[in-house]
Amino acid sequence: MSRLLSSLPAAELAALSAAAQWFARLESGTATAEDQQAWHRWRGADPLHEQAWQRMESVREQLAGVPGKLAAPALRGAERSRRQVLRSVLVLASAGSVGWLGWRSEASQQRFADYHTAVGERREVRLADGSSLLLNTNTSVNVRFDGQQRLLHLLAGEILVSTAADPLRRPFRVETRQGRVLALGTRFIVRAEGVGGEVAVLDKAVQVSLAGQRTALRLEAGQRVALQAQGLGPVRANDASVGAWQQGSLIAIDRPLGELLAELARYRVGVLRCDPAIAGLKVSGAFPLDDTDLALAALHSAFGLKITRYTRYWVSVSA
């Protein structure tokens, strides 16, 4: 632990230490209005202070997803002193500095993308060439149009693209970390998550290629394919679940409960856990995405599942 902290520059470590002190004071429940004003002055006094405080905020967000019964022992064990608590917060904020910077960079790219949606939000955008773009939950995309191309860079999430005819005949492409999609005058959906993704064609056709490969697969209307680390998956037919999110619905057709809840979790903040013992239970139905609590109530009513709410942000589904 000491080696971890000593690896940071002195100025950065001092800022983190002060941020940890402020974090503890403001979370103590006894902070005064004068404390709040002094805290604001401290944040504005030096860019390093603001950077350190943002790290504290990331710690706060991580702990917000942990139930109180778990979070309390993590930072407030009965045998731990205030100094040890502050040191734990400081280590959480400073640990893996390079990794944190990498995460921060990626998260910042997504949050400050040309177009971005929050968890549970959908947003429609009209592009400069007349094409339309519908962003699903927690989606980030950059737009790069110039004299030679029309390019969308999907950083994360899911989009539905309806392309418009272009007088300049510029190709329309969507790029993800996994691959590239060339539109052939069409409506299609692209999803990017982690090291995977999926492309589904609603009208006409597209060409799909993996990153770094020249060979392309042509997909026709009504077809979809998964983009995987090991290659393109098999071409499958679209079903009623494809694109249903644009109407605010999640449609399941004999879908394993674990997969259904993982999909539903994309539309709510916090943790939605499925008991592994029932993850394989096949579920069919239509569930509202704009009210995920109602969707959980429907699962409880229709399938006799137990919905346990530890907090608003931590929900578990079991038999």
Domain 248-318 has CATH 3.55.50.30: yes
Q: What is the pLDDT of residue 19?
A: 80
Computed over every residue of the chain, the mean pLDDT equals: 82
pLDDT computed for residue 106 by the predictor: 56
Nearest to 195 by CA among 181, 179, 208, 207: 179
Q: Is 254 helix (H, G, I), strand (E, B) or coil?
A: strand
pLDDT of residue 192: 94
Q: Cβ atoms within 10 A of the Cβ of 174, count?
A: 26
Instruction: Tell me if the pTM is above 0.85.
Output: no
Whether residue 296 is predicted with pLDDT greater than 70 in this model: the reply is: yes
Residue 55: the pLDDT is 72
Alpha carbons 70 and 63: distance in angstroms, whole number:
9
Cβ contacts of residue 87 below 8 Å, gap of 6+? 1, 20
Structural domain spans, the chain: 2-110, 115-237, 248-318
**Per-residue confidence (pLDDT) for residue 165, from 0 to 100:** 93
Runs of H (alpha helix) within 177-275: 257-265
CATH number of 115-237: 2.60.120.1440
* pLDDT tens digits, 215-249: 899 999 999 999 987 889 999 999 989 999 999 99
CA distances (Å), origin 219, targets 152, 167, 202, 208, 293: 19, 24, 10, 7, 36
Q: Which residue has the higher pLDDT, 119 or 1?
A: 119
pLDDT tens, residue by residue, 70-97: 444 444 443 444 455 455 555 555 544 4
pLDDT digits (tens, 9 = 90+) for 2-24: 444 444 567 777 777 788 777 77
Q: Give the pLDDT of residue 59.
A: 59
Q: Is the pLDDT of residue 200 over 60?
A: yes
